[in-house]
Amino acid sequence: MKNTTLCYIEQNGQYLMMHRVKKVGDCNRDKWIGIGGHLEEYESPYDCILREAKEETGLTLTDCAYRGLVSFCSPNYETEQMHLFFAHTFEGSLREDCEEGDLQWISREHLMDLPMWEGDRIFLNLLPQDVPFFLLKLVYDADGNLISHDLHFTGEAREPLLISACLLGSPCRYDGKTKPLSETVLQDLSARYTLIPVCAEILGGLPTPRIPAEIQPDGRVRRQDGEDVTDAYLRGANEVCRYADITDAKTAILKARSPSCGMGTVYDGSFTATLCKNSGVTARMLTEHGIRVLTEAQLSSLLPDESR
């Protein structure tokens, strides 16, 4: 079994990706991946990723979190244990003569459009999330198709719970603000569940801040200035459903009344703070996906009496 490392370097919403187009016989030929390579003799995974990052990019990583262990199984190759890292700070300048491929900063919303191994999309979705160290087994067939994946979070076995990122304190609302739950509730939730923060509007590629949007009587989502943003809302909802599949989450706590996250009640499309019976695009899609969706007002069923 061979041991390798892989690191994704993220800065200002962009990931440093390598387009593997230079090496003859490269098993990753034409795909986009992060930075990394084989462990050399007497190297730890951490030694290896620092060396590989320096060699391939010219950058010295100054913070590098060990996030997961990924096992690749394929009839075509020796089984590989890949140590996965995520880095945000570095020193130095990017080299332009990497022998392995072409380096390019790619914005997060365009990452999934790149040709890559299907299993890479699973851990790329997990990296920006506040999830525990994970073990991921990926099984490919001889044609390079992903035929199964098995994901486990380490530590105490806690049920995964999707949660609107703005309820966790992320400033991702349309006005750049947040709506965090109380400290007590957050502590109780994180003691019982592995919280998977998701913001469908960000995942759909919308900026923050952004012009507010509401679901219209014809079912489309339009901004206050009339622009139709339904496609971005649907894209984000699909991404959240993908997170549910990847993490095997069965329940989601979503922010009430939002055109994405609202469950049962949302604003009526007139931008006059008038409510109507309907659900946000993500809440509806998750429900159709078999996920139980609750709003923050319905947390009581998930928490002990004293923190409700």
Residues that bind ligand SF4 in the complex, under the rule CB under 6 A: 164-166, 172-173, 199-201, 255, 258, 260-261
Structural tokens at position 198: 């998701």
Smallest distance, ligand SF4 to C-beta of residue 164, A: 4
The rounded distance, in Å, linking the Cα atoms of 34 and 259 is 35
Host H or E run for residue 27: none
Do residues 268 and 180 touch, judged by C-beta distance below 8 A?
A: no
Q: Which is nearer to ligand SF4, 9 or 172 (CB)?
A: 172
Q: In angstroms, give the least distance from the CB of 247 to ligand SF4.
A: 16
Nearer residue to ligand SF4 within complex by CB, 31 or 173? 173
Nearer to ligand SF4, 222 or 255 (CB): 255
Q: Which is nearer to ligand SF4, 138 or 203 (CB)?
A: 203
Q: Determine the straight-line distance between the first and last CA of the chain, rounded to whole angstroms.
A: 50
Residues 254, 283: contact at Cβ < 8 Å? yes
- What's the alpha-carbon Rg for the chain, to the nearest Å? 21
- Helical (H) or strand (E) element with 294: strand 292-295
Closest CB to ligand SF4 among residues 20, 173: 173
Task: Give residue 60's identity as a one-letter amino acid code.
Answer: T
Least distance to ligand SF4, CB of residue 290, Å: 20
In the numeric block, which tokens belong to residue 23?
Answer: 């090496």
Question: Shortest distance, CB of residue 65 to ligand SF4, whole angstroms?
Answer: 24
CB of 277 to ligand SF4, least distance (A): 18
From the CB of 207, what's the least distance to ligand SF4, in Å?
A: 12
In contact, 237 and 254? CB cutoff 8 Å: no
Beta carbon nearer to ligand SF4, 55 or 268: 268
Beta carbon nearer to ligand SF4, 178 or 190: 178
265-267 and 292-295 as β-strands: parallel, antiparallel, unpaired?
unpaired
DSSP 37-72: EEPPTT--HHHHHHHHHHHHHS-EEEEEEEEEEEEE
Nearer to ligand SF4, 59 or 165 (CB): 165
Instruction: Give the nearest distance from C-beta 7 to ligand SF4 in angstroms.
Output: 28
- Asked whether the beta carbons of 59 and 53 are under 8 A apart, the reply is yes
CB of 13 to ligand SF4, least distance (A): 15
Please say which residue, 81 or 265, places its beta carbon nearer to ligand SF4: 265
- Cβ neighbors of 232 (< 8 A, separation 6 or more) are 201, 204, 205, 206
Look at the alpha carbons of 45, 48, 54, 55 in this order and tell me if their dihedral is positive or negative.
Answer: negative
Give the three-state DSSP class for 114.
Answer: coil
Question: Could you tell me the CA-to-CA distances from 91 to 58, 63, 102 in Å, in that order?
Answer: 9, 10, 20
CB of 141 to ligand SF4, least distance (A): 37
Query: Quick one: DSSP state of residue 24?
Result: T
